[in-house]
Amino acid sequence: MRKIIPYGQHYVDTIDIKSVTRAITSKSLTQGSRVLQFEKKLIAYTKSKYAVAVSSCTAGLHIACKALGFEKNSLLLTSVISFVSSSNVAYFLGGRAQFVDIDNNTISFDLFDLELKIKKYKPKIIIVVHMAGAAYNMKKIKSLSDKYNFFIIEDCAHSLGGSYYFKNNKKNRIGSCKYSDISVFSFHPVKSITTGEGGMVTTNKKTIYKKLLRYRSHGINKLDDKFLYKKNAYTKGKINQWYYEMRELGYHYRITDIQCALGISQLNKINRFLKKRLEVVKMYDLAFINNPYIKIIHADARDLSANHIYIIKINFKKLLTSRQEFMSFLEKKGIITQVHYIPIVMHPYYIDKGFKITDYPNAKKYYDECISIPCYYSLGKQDQKRVIFSINEFINKKCKSIS
Q: Tell whether the model's pLDDT for residue 169 goes beyond 80.
A: no
CA distance 140 to 108: 13
Regarding beta strands 370-373 and 310-314, do their DSSP bridges make them parallel or antiparallel, or are they unpaired? Answer: antiparallel
Q: How many CB atoms lie within 10 A of CB 214?
A: 24
Q: Which residues contact 163 (CB under 8 A, 6 or more apart)?
A: 135, 171, 172, 173, 174, 304
> What pLDDT band is residue 2 in, cutting at 50, 70 and 90?
confident
> What pLDDT sits at residue 223?
78
For 346, the enclosing helix (H) or strand (E) is: none
pLDDT in tens, 72-83: 999 999 999 999
Q: Which fold has domain 14-267?
A: Aspartate Aminotransferase; domain 2 (3.40.640)
> What pLDDT sits at residue 221?
87
Which residue has better confidence, 221 or 195? 195
What's the rounded mean pLDDT across residues 225-238? 92
Q: Which residues contact 237 (CB under 8 A, 6 or more apart)?
A: none
What's the rounded mean pLDDT across residues 22-42? 94
End-to-end CA distance of the chain: 35
pLDDT in tens, 41-69: 999 999 999 999 999 999 999 999 999 99
For the chain, give every domain's residue range. Answer: 14-267, 270-402
> What pLDDT sits at residue 170?
66
CA atoms within 13 A on the CB side of 203: 24
Cis amide linkage into residue 341, ω under 30° from 0: yes
DSSP code of residue 102: B
CA distance 243 to 53: 24
What's the rounded mean pLDDT across residues 327-349? 98
181 close to 208: Cβ distance less than 8 angstroms: yes
Selected from 3.90.1200.10, 3.30.460.10, 1.10.3720.10, 3.90.1150.10, the CATH number assigned to the domain covering 270-402 reads 3.90.1150.10
What's the rounded mean pLDDT across residues 287-299? 95
What stretches of 68-186 show up as alpha helix (H) in DSSP? Answer: 85-92, 111-121, 138-148
Angle, to 10 degrees, between the axis of helix 270-288 and the axis of helix 381-402? 30
CA distance 52 to 42: 10
Q: Tell whether the model's pLDDT for residue 27 goes beyond 70.
A: yes
pLDDT in tens, 379-402: 999 999 999 999 999 999 999 888
Average pLDDT of every residue of the chain: 96
pLDDT in tens, 96-146: 999 999 999 899 999 999 999 999 999 999 999 999 999 999 999 999 999
CA distance 202 to 208: 10
Q: Which residues contact 350 (CB under 8 A, 6 or more apart)?
A: 87, 344
The angle formed by the CA atoms of residues 157, 382 and 373, to the nearest 5 degrees, is: 35
Q: Tell whether the model's pLDDT for residue 165 goes beyond 80.
A: no
Q: Tell whether the model's pLDDT for residue 166 goes beyond 70.
A: no
> What pLDDT sits at residue 401?
86
For 238, the enclosing helix (H) or strand (E) is: strand 238-239
What's the rounded mean pLDDT across residues 292-320? 96
Output the DSSP codes for 39-59.
HHHHHHHHT-SEEEEES-HHH
Q: Which residues contact 327 (CB under 8 A, 6 or more apart)?
A: 337, 371
pLDDT in tens, 133-157: 999 999 999 999 999 999 999 999 9
SS3 331: helix
- Provide, rounded to the nearest whole percent, the portion of the chain with pLDDT above 70: 99
Residue 76 sits at φ, ψ, to 5 deg, of -115, 140
> What pLDDT sits at residue 264?
98
The angle formed by the CA atoms of residues 264, 194 and 132, to the nearest 5 degrees, is: 125
SS3 335: strand
> What pLDDT band is residue 168 in, cutting at 50, 70 and 90?
low
Regarding beta strands 294-296 and 310-314, do their DSSP bridges make them parallel or antiparallel, or are they unpaired? Answer: antiparallel
> What pLDDT sits at residue 1?
62
